[in-house]
Amino acid sequence: MSKRLLNFLKVSISIGLAALLLYLVFRNVEWVEFWERAQSVDYTWVIVSIFLSIVAYVARAYRWNILLEPLGYNLKTSRTTLAVLIGYLANLALPRLGEITRCGVLNRNDKVAIPAALGSVVTERVIDALTLLILILISLIVESERLFTFLERAYKDLNIPVYVIWVVLIVGVLGFVGLIVFIRRQDRLKGKFAELAKGFVAGFLSLKNIRRPFGFIISTVILWVVYFLMSYIIVFSLPETTHLGLGAGFMLLITGGIAISLPVQSGFGTYHGMIAGMLVLYSIEETTGIFLATLLHTSQIIAVAIFGSIALIISFLIKRSLSKSDKLTDI
């Protein structure tokens, strides 16, 4: 199978799955009610959430810089912010394409080796996964009853066989063991693949050599606090959801984080269905829940589209500037 055909199938399956999930979520929606809610929205909160996302992008870029420093790269946060934004923009086209894209942008603009950059991105994603896990554990205390009810309902709706769960766990354990073995034996590899593997491993292990651990922790905290605020403040844009407290906002953050992490086109369908399902636990009517989920998701997509496009234009101008500098050097 050719690479082009394989990429086409990946995109088609991802888009098809997203379309199916959106259909399942919206099939029972009363569109007259949906439109009425759109007219009652206080869009000030939505606009604030969109601009607040800039803080999250900068915090992620700053944290990425800290991971890149042990690898010998001292970059400006503005440069990595451009790469992060373009990466998010690429994710709109294909799930997880953004991770590779932002490494490619840094390689082109700042000569950062892609294997090392990609390894640091994997480390960053592991940290995010652990942070989300910690937040889930905290939610067991804050919203334990509602969370267990939500998980129980989700499991029943999915009707996942027990053997599937065991297969996923076994594959996960084997994958982790394989990664450890790969890291331990990287010195025995030879040739170009060895250079790529060693660069990736160096990036992956960059966390243990960071020079600014306090900055790494603070930027991670800022990142997730902003994620929380971006979701929570939008509940005040709808009359039906203004009464929701911090516990509900916490659950919005966790549920949205899980939904976005799933391998579906930019969370289309998964985000809407999971957020709406979670809001039912707070006695929010289904159509209202789907509308709020749509408002939350759309605001994030708009933020990525606007700021990502601006970053792409700026990066293109940087590339042209670099090309002219190379020509002058040659002369």
pLDDT, one tens digit per residue, over 16-46 is: 666 666 766 777 676 777 787 788 889 999 9
d(CA 284, CA 277): 9
226 occurs within a structural domain:
yes
Q: Please report the pLDDT score of residue 327 as a whole number.
A: 46
pLDDT, one tens digit per residue, over 176-188 is: 666 666 555 555 5
Taking the CA atoms of 162, 165, 167 and 169 in sequence, report the sign of the dihedral they define: negative
Question: Identity (one letter) of the amino acid at 227?
Answer: Y
Where residue 267 falls (left for φ over 0; alpha for ψ -120 to 50; beta otherwise) is left
Q: Please report the pLDDT score of residue 44 as a whole number.
A: 94
Work out the average pLDDT over 306-327.
74
Side-chain-facing half-sphere of 140: CA atoms under 13 Å: 6
Residues 6+ apart with CB under 8 A from 126: none
* pLDDT top residue among 26 and 239: 239
328 occurs within a structural domain:
no
Q: How many domains does the chain have?
A: 1
Q: Please report the pLDDT score of residue 328 as a whole number.
A: 40
Q: Please report the pLDDT score of residue 172 as a whole number.
A: 64
d(CA 290, CA 295): 9
d(CA 188, CA 165): 35
82 occurs within a structural domain:
yes
Q: Identify the domain containing residue 126 by its residue range.
A: 32-322
DSSP state for residue 189 in the 8-state scheme: -
d(CA 117, CA 67): 9
Work out the average pLDDT over 116-121.
84
Cα separations in angstroms, 312 against 84, 271, 315, 316, 319: 10, 26, 5, 6, 10
Residue among 236, 240, 241, 229 nearest 300 (CA): 229
Residue among 25, 47, 18, 39 nearest 299 (CA): 47
| Residue 282 pLDDT grade (very low, low, confident, very high; cuts 50, 70, 90) | confident
User: What tokens were used for 182?
Assistant: 């790969």
9 occurs within a structural domain:
no
> Treating both helix axes as pointing N-terminal to C-terminal, what angle do 77-91 and 97-110 enclose, rounded to 10 degrees?
150
d(CA 51, CA 55): 8
Residue among 126, 124, 60, 119 nearest 88 (CA): 60
| Residue 209 pLDDT grade (very low, low, confident, very high; cuts 50, 70, 90) | confident
Q: Please report the pLDDT score of residue 55 as a whole number.
A: 96
6 occurs within a structural domain:
no
d(CA 87, CA 299): 17
* pLDDT top residue among 160 and 285: 285
11 occurs within a structural domain:
no
Helices (H), the chain: 3-26, 31-39, 43-68, 77-91, 97-110, 114-142, 144-158, 162-184, 191-204, 213-232, 246-261, 270-280, 286-330
Q: Please report the pLDDT score of residue 54 as a whole number.
A: 95
107 occurs within a structural domain:
yes
Cα separations in angstroms, 328 against 31, 303, 318, 323: 60, 37, 15, 9
| Residue 330 pLDDT grade (very low, low, confident, very high; cuts 50, 70, 90) | very low
Residue among 113, 95, 119, 97 nearest 15 (CA): 95
d(CA 210, CA 71): 9
Work out the average pLDDT over 200-218.
77
DSSP state for residue 111 in the 8-state scheme: -
d(CA 287, CA 48): 24
10 occurs within a structural domain:
no
